Amino acid sequence: MSRLRLSIILPLLLGFLCSVAVAQQTDTFFQQNCTSCHTIGGGRLTGPDLKDATKRKERAWLEKFIQAPKAVIDSGDPYALQLQQESRGIVMPAVPGVTPQMAKALVDLIEAESALPKSRFAGAAISDRPFTPANVALGMEILRGERKLSQGGAACISCHTIGTLRGMGGGRLGPDLTLVWERLGGRKAIGAWLTNPLTPTMQAVYRNHRLQNEEIFPLLAVFDEAARTSLPADSGAQVNFFLAGFAGLCGALGLMGWIWRGRFTNVRRNLVRKSRGVE
């Protein structure tokens, strides 16, 4: 009798625990992989607000899109093209780990959260207060690496340049950030984007060194300022960089020559001394 009961209860319990685990997993997955571009009920970021996405489009379509956004857009699907246009041409990246089961669970999550008065995913807390010149100055210090990031990430300038940088500009591995304000869609969108960057290089650099809100806010102030006041850093910066490098090389060679000007005589003097037994 009791064995019979157990044989009913145990699978039920296991089933329940599994569904809780899956829901938990989906929550975490969404938080880590989707919230840098989407809110549910908090307005558009880089991507559209996902609230009521299942009312706008069939679930099967959404599941397919989440697994392979670019393929759906490339197929010429009119709804996808319209979404892309509304997102200033940015294409949603294919997020690693989105299996068909995960895509289904994500659509379930979006549907369930859309039904709530306020979703947990209504948006990151980037302050609305106006940017001050002090914010811009702090942002430039962070960007130039003069102020270390609290979680120890690399300085932006090693890979990026921006119109507000004087002189040689910055690195060229990443895009020029002068017009990023417009490109990614302003304060809220870039704020969320930077909390958890998901593009390949940025993710690799900051996944384990998250930027903090106190760092993101001044950086946003810089992007806002740059978009309003400067032009993308031009090739002049590259010429400056080359000239400065060349001048630096000549200087360094000259300095070394001067510092070790006695290098031959010193060595010989010692050899001669030693050979005479003088210490």
Q: Does 105 bind ligand HEC (CB under 6 A)?
A: no
What tokens appear for 47 in the block? 């991507």
Amino acid at the residue 62 = L
Q: Which residue has the tokens 């690496």?
A: 145
Which x/- pattern over 219-258 shows residues binding ligand HEC (rule: CB under 6 A)? Answer: x---------------------------------------
Which window, 48-56, 126-134, 235-243, 268-276, contacts ligand HEC (CB under 6 A)?
Answer: 48-56
CA distances, 4 to each of 9, 18, 84, 99, 108 (Å):
9, 22, 56, 36, 34
For the CB of residue 62, give the shortest distance to ligand HEC in the complex, in Å. 5
By the 8 A CB rule, do 84 and 73 touch? yes
CA distances, 201 to each of 67, 123, 159, 160, 193 (Å):
21, 24, 10, 12, 13
Select from 170, 159, 173, 175 the least CA-distant residue to 237. Answer: 170
Q: Does 56 bind ligand HEC (CB under 6 A)?
A: yes
Q: Does 95 bind ligand HEC (CB under 6 A)?
A: yes
Q: Does 183 bind ligand HEC (CB under 6 A)?
A: yes
CA distances, 257 to each of 28, 173, 224, 252 (Å):
60, 34, 47, 9
Half-sphere exposure of 122 (CA within 13 A, CB side): 9
Q: Which residue has the tokens 């089933």?
A: 15
Please pick, from the candidates 48, 111, 122, 232, the single residue that binds ligand HEC as defined by CB under 6 A. 48
> What span, in angstroms and rounded, lies between the C-alpha atoms of 184 and 219?
14
For the CB of residue 124, give the shortest distance to ligand HEC in the complex, in Å. 13
Please pick, from the candidates 19, 101, 151, 158, the single residue that binds ligand HEC as defined by CB under 6 A. 158
Q: Does 169 bind ligand HEC (CB under 6 A)?
A: no
Indicate the residue among 57 and 241 with the shorter CB distance to ligand HEC. Answer: 57
Which window, 2-10, 19-27, 150-158, 244-252, contacts ligand HEC (CB under 6 A)?
Answer: 150-158
Positions touching ligand HEC (CB under 6 A) are 33-34, 36-38, 46-48, 50, 53, 56-57, 62, 65-66, 69, 73, 83-84, 87, 90-93, 95, 98, 106, 154, 156, 158-160, 173-175, 177, 180, 183-184, 190, 194, 198-202, 205, 211, 219
